Amino acid sequence: MTAFARQQPADPVFRAQANFRALMDALSRPGTIQRLSVDDGAMGLDADLAAVALTLVDHETSVWLSPSLSDDRKAREWLAFATGAPQVDAPELAAFALIAEADPLPDFKFFGQGTQEYPDRSTTIVKACGGLTHGPRLTCSGPGIKSTLTITPAGLGTDFVERWSENRAQYPRGVDLILCAGGAVMGMPRTLTIERLEV
């Protein structure tokens, strides 16, 4: 169990409330690291992904699973039992996408982009990554950030900045991204501008 996961609320209701606040803070304050209350009881599913799913997903929200999760019967069954969410094969039909750390981040264009009239009908991608503090140095700016902020998430791929720029250019359409690792989350809403930090 990680340091982030220690001393977290044991009651499921309090845990869900704490995680909802953490996720809302993560998206309203992009690039900041927010603590997540996790439980190791999810069968076949990373504890961080499970905590986010329990907080955001229900029987009315469709979910797409990355290949290693989709191939794991225990992960599929736990998600169905714990959330009741319908699991879809087409990523563009998903309200949420859960991406395992072992799977690369797919092209954003494969997911629901929303429309000009209803941008909220896009997919929110939740990616378990290699860590939030020891990856390549990136600088981000936009709503919720006073000036600029340096972030260092790991495991997003060498072309992530270019792909994110294309996603950002579609605003108000485009996907939102939530990264999770080690009992914590970081939000990347589509409004966020991300660039490589020159050394």
Q: What is the pLDDT of residue 1?
A: 35
- pLDDT tens by residue, the chain, 199 residues: 343 333 444 577 788 899 999 999 999 999 999 999 988 767 788 999 999 999 999 999 999 999 999 999 999 999 999 999 999 999 999 999 999 999 999 999 999 999 999 999 999 999 999 899 999 999 999 999 999 999 999 999 999 999 999 999 999 999 999 999 999 999 999 999 999 986 5
Q: Where are the alpha helices (DSSP H) in the chain?
A: 12-28, 47-56, 67-70, 73-83, 160-169
Q: What is the pLDDT of residue 59?
A: 96
Q: Report, in this order, helix, strand and coil percent for the chain, each rounded to 5.
A: 30, 20, 50
Contact 145, 138 (CB under 8 A): no
Residues facing residue 164 across a β-bridge:
none
Contact 91, 67 (CB under 8 A): no
Residue-range domains of the chain with CATH: 12-196 (3.40.50.11310)
Contact 65, 87 (CB under 8 A): yes
User: What would the two tokens of residue 79 be?
Assistant: 């998600």
Supply the DSSP symbol for 51. Answer: H
Q: What is the pLDDT of residue 3?
A: 37
pTM: 0.92
